[in-house]
Structure 1
C-alpha cells in the first residue's frame, strides 16, 4: 500500500518525460512537408561519401518538390533542409545521438534517447524536413516551399557537413 503513491508519481513523471509529450511542434517559415502526389516536379539528389550531386538546386516559391535521395556511398547520410543556424543546432543533436551509440556509421539504432543527457526533447530523427538514407538505399522527401529564401540542404551526420556535404537551395519568386 505504501508503494502506490511513489509508483504513481514515478509513472506520471515518466509519462511527462516521454517523447510523445516532449516533442516540439515542427514549424518552418520556408514551407512544410507535402504528400508526393502534390509534387510539381522531382529532383534526384545523389549522396556520395561527403558529396551531394547536384550541389545547388533552384526552386520557385509555391512549388512542391519531391526530392528522390539516392545514397551511393558507403556511409549513412542525411538530407536536411534548413538555414545555417538550423543545421548548427541539428548537428549538436546528431553528435549526441552518435555519442549515445544510437547513430552508427551505416545506420541508426532504435533507442529511447529522450532521457539522454543534454537532450531537451525526445528527438527520434523524425523532423519533417529531414531524412536519413542508409548506404545503397533510396528515400524521398516532398516539400512545399512557401516563400523566397536562401537555404541549404545538408548532411548533419557528425563531420559530414564540415567535410563539404552541403548544397545551396535557392527559393526564388
Structure 2
C-alpha cells in the first residue's frame, strides 16, 4: 500500500469515526450548537443585575439563532439554554465552582477559567470547567455569542445559573413552534 493510499484510508477512517468521538453534550433534545454563519437571525439579549431583556423568545423548530449576549450589569452572568431540571443540575455545578474560587461575583477566579477557551479546566480543580455548548459566561461590560439550532422542545428556558441569579428571577422562556 502506498503512502498516499494509507493517508487516504486514514482520512476515511477518521471521518467515519467523528460522530463516535463527538461529545454527547454537543447535542440535546432541544437542539445543538451551530456555527454563527448558519444563523437565520440574530437576537440580542441584554443582561442586567438581575434580569434578561427580552424575557421570552419565540423560535421555530429547525431555526438557527445567533445570540449576542451583552452584560450591562455589574455582576458575572450566564446565558444557558435548557429546561428547569437541567438548570437545577447546572446550578449545583456553578455553586461548586463558586465555592472553589473559580467563579467570583464579577468574573472567573483562580485557575484562569477562561470560557472562551472551552474545554480547558483549571489545573488545580480537575474536572471542573464551564464548557457546555448550550451555555456561556459573560463578565460585566463584555459581550459574548452563542449560536443554537433549535429542535422541538417543551418547557425550554434561558437562564443565568450563577448562584442565586435564577432564584432571583434571571430566567426567560423559549417557545419553540413546529
TM-score of the alignment, normalized to the shorter chain, above 0.5: yes
Deviations 1:122-147 (A, max 9, x none): 24101000000000000000000122
**Residue of structure 2 equivalent to 1:124:** 129
What is the number of equivalent residue pairs in this alignment? Answer: 143
Unaligned runs of 5+ in 2: 1-22, 113-121
Deviations 1:27-56 (A, max 9, x none): 311110000000000000000001000000
CA distance in 1, matches of 2:158, 2:128: 20
Unaligned runs of 5+ in 1: 1-23, 115-121
Q: Determine the structure 2 residue equivalent to 1:167.
A: 172
Alignment partner, residue 79 of structure 2? 79
| 1:66–1:140 CA contact under 8 A, matched in 2 | yes
Shift of 1:61: 0.3
Deviations 1:43-91 (A, max 9, x none): 0000000100000001000000000100000000000000000000000
Structure 1 runs (4+) deviating above 6 angstroms are none
Q: TM-score, normalised by structure 1?
A: 0.80
Q: Distance in 1 between matches of 2:146 and 2:140?
A: 17
What's the RMSD between the two structures over aligned residues? 1.1
